[in-house]
Amino acid sequence: MSSSTPGTSSLVRRATAHARQHGVLSLLRTAFRRYVFNSRAIYVFMCPHDLTTEGVDKPLVANFRASFVASNDEADELARDYDDFRLFDKRARPALDEGAVALCQYSGRSVVNVAWLATDQPAHAAIDSTGLPFDVATHRAWTGRVNTAPAYEGRGLFRYACARRFEYLLSLGIDESCTCVAEGNARSHVMTASLGCRLVGKGHLVRLLWRTWWHTGTLARADEEAIREAVASARANRRTS
């Protein structure tokens, strides 16, 4: 995400960075899940908007700037001076047309993190790839699809993005929102636990090429126990690393 070169060259740069940090096998598994086939359990959480920028450290990023983008006109304006984040996500341009909002974080002119929110069904459907059957009456709003440049992971961008998006939604009178976390995503489970999010649903996502299916499941006590164990394990690993 830190390159301004569109298309294939930006994809190669991101793939190279991922392989260097996580290994070639991880890169191959990630590519297969993203572009060919993916089947996984997804947990749905409701998160209170208690975290604000007053309670979170500024990201450890040089020449830092963050900006909300709510339309393609705004994105065009921002792209005059900064990397065009839409080059790195094929959903970005249609999502902005449907009303989704992106929080873009930069180091200098390079985009290093993009995090999304939506307040209605068309915006959510345009940007979220989980297939969650989003409903405003039930979920209020949605936050998700957070992408961080590999070289900038662990610098506080994720948590800062949560605080800024919560403040944005609070300004609209929305005091909680839903988010989805894949079963094995320990890092995101740690984040939802730290934010005080409550588990409210479960689904199963199946994606084959461009087709996506969502099956709503039933929560069990074992689900909550599995998440608590994943959070505890991730925190223990962090302390010993």
Tell whether 163 is covered by a domain: yes
How many residues in the chain?
Answer: 241
CB 5 within 8 A of CB 84: no
Tell whether 32 is covered by a domain: yes
Give me the pLDDT at residue 97, please.
98
β pairing state of 64-69 and 176-182: unpaired
β pairing state of 37-48 and 176-182: antiparallel
Is the C-alpha dihedral spanning 109, 113, 117, 121 positive or negative?
Answer: positive
Tell whether 2 is covered by a domain: no
Tell whether 71 is covered by a domain: yes
CA angle 121, 127, 129 (to 5 degrees): 100
Query: pLDDT digit string (tens) for 9-33?
Result: 556 766 777 678 778 887 777 776 6
User: Under 8 Å CB-to-CB from 226, ≥6 apart: which residues?
Assistant: 183
Residue 5 has pLDDT above 50, yes or no: no
Find, among 120, 78, 112, the residue nearest to 95 by Cα. 120
User: Under 8 Å CB-to-CB from 53, ≥6 apart: which residues?
Assistant: 160, 163, 164, 167
Question: Per the structure, how many domains does the chain have?
Answer: 1
CATH number of domain containing 21: 3.40.630
How does the average pLDDT of the chain come out, rounded?
89
Tell whether 210 is covered by a domain: yes
Give me the pLDDT at residue 21, please.
76
Percent of the chain with pLDDT over 90: 70
Query: pLDDT digit string (tens) for 40-59?
Result: 899 999 999 999 999 999 99
Provide the residue range defining the domain that includes 42. Answer: 7-240
CB atoms within 10 A of CB 215: 12
Question: DSSP secondary-structure letter at 83?
Answer: -
Tell whether 1 is covered by a domain: no
Tell whether 130 is covered by a domain: yes
